[in-house]
């Protein structure tokens, strides 16, 4: 069933696991994520960034997810990822999304607090979940051939985070602790000490840039209060690389329902592995 996500994150934090929030821009990805979550009896979040949402159309994503989730026993959240304006947040809410992320991390702190608070009020009026972000998470959900150096000034400051959470009223905080979007040549190194300090605030935290983070660091992050982990690049890779290879092997194939099951399976495999790693399997 389609649900709002706050209670899922609170339970995950309490029990020491994290819920996967998986980005989608195709129907195949939506099906694959739901199949994997069903198979492993896991709560799951399906999310779209602004560009993914406008490509798929928010009302359509909502109808598809609602229909696919309607008779399932697993809770499924539909989440706006990195909404950069109140208009986008409003659009996602009006389309039926159950959870929204207002990302004001590119703004001065005062403006970020003001707008995140306004987004939180909008979400809470409808009993929906709101995620805020403090500290900037660099990169984009792609394979990057180069190294990335994270500027320490962009990391989440624990003291500022306390003020941010209390003044905005958010339900979950997206943190910048060495995580980046996409896969770069150098492995990410999470600042676990910083995370442990932010954990003291008490609300669940969200770890973006879930692709390419080594398993042991993911586990340590979960033990420090991470209750939601976003994954996009590894799903995009699984889909596109499988499609590329499959069509190269069968250049005369033109029937989508003949070839797309392989791409669905490739995404499903990635989602299943993440669900097991995050420990959200068999929670239903």
Binding site for ligand 13P (CB under 6 A): 23, 81-82, 141, 181-182, 208-211, 230-233
4 or 233: CB nearest ligand 13P: 233
Q: 22 with 231: CB under 8 angstroms?
A: yes
Smallest gap from residue 251 Cβ to ligand 13P (A): 30
Strands 44-48 and 205-207: unpaired
40 or 271: CB nearest ligand 13P: 271
Distances (CA, A) of 6 to 82, 144, 225, 233: 17, 33, 14, 25
Strands 205-207 and 226-231: parallel
| CA–CA distance, 230 with 246 (Å, rounded to integer) | 27
98 or 232: CB nearest ligand 13P: 232
Q: Which residues have CB under 8 Å from 28's CB, separation 6+?
A: 239, 260, 263, 264, 267
Tell me if residue 215 is catalytic. Answer: no
| CA–CA distance, 39 with 31 (Å, rounded to integer) | 12
Rg (CA), the chain: 18
123 or 238: CB nearest ligand 13P: 238
Smallest gap from residue 1 Cβ to ligand 13P (A): 24
Q: Which of 11, 63, 81, 151 is catalytic?
A: 81
Smallest gap from residue 138 Cβ to ligand 13P (A): 11
Smallest gap from residue 82 Cβ to ligand 13P (A): 6
Strands 76-83 and 129-134: unpaired
Which residues are identified as catalytic? 81
């Amino acid at each position: 069933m389609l649900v709002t996500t706050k209670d899922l994150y609170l339970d995950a934090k309490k029990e020491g696991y994290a819920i996967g929030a998986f980005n989608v821009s195709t129907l195949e990805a939506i099906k694959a994520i739901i199949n994997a979550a069903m198979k492993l009896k896991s709560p799951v979040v399906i999310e779209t960034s602004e560009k993914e949402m406008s490509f798929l159309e928010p009302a359509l994503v909502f109808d598809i997810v609602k229909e696919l989730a309607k008779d399932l026993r697993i809770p499924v959240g539909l989440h706006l990822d990195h909404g950069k304006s109140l208009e986008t947040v409003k659009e996602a809410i009006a389309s039926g999304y159950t959870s929204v992320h207002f990302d004001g991390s590119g703004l001065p702190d005062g403006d970020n607090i003001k707008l995140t608070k306004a987004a939180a009020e909008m979400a809470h009026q409808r009993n929906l979940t709101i995620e805020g972000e403090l500290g900037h998470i660099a990169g984009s959900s792609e394979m990057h051939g180069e190294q990335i150096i994270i500027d320490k000034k962009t990391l989440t400051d624990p003291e500022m985070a306390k003020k941010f959470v209390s003044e905005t009223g958010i339900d979950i905080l997206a943190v910048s602790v060495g995580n980046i979007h996409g896969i770069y040549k150098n492995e990410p190194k999470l600042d676990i000490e910083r995370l442990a300090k932010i954990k003291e605030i008490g609300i669940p935290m969200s770890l973006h840039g879930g692709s390419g983070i080594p398993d042991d660091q993911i586990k340590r992050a979960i033990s420090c209060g991470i209750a939601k982990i976003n994954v996009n690049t590894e799903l995009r890779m699984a889909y596109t690389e499988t499609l590329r290879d499959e069509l190269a092997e069968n250049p005369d194939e033109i029937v989508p329902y003949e070839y797309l099951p392989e791409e669905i399976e490739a995404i499903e495999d990635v989602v299943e592995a993440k669900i097991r790693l995050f420990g959200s399997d068999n929670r239903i």
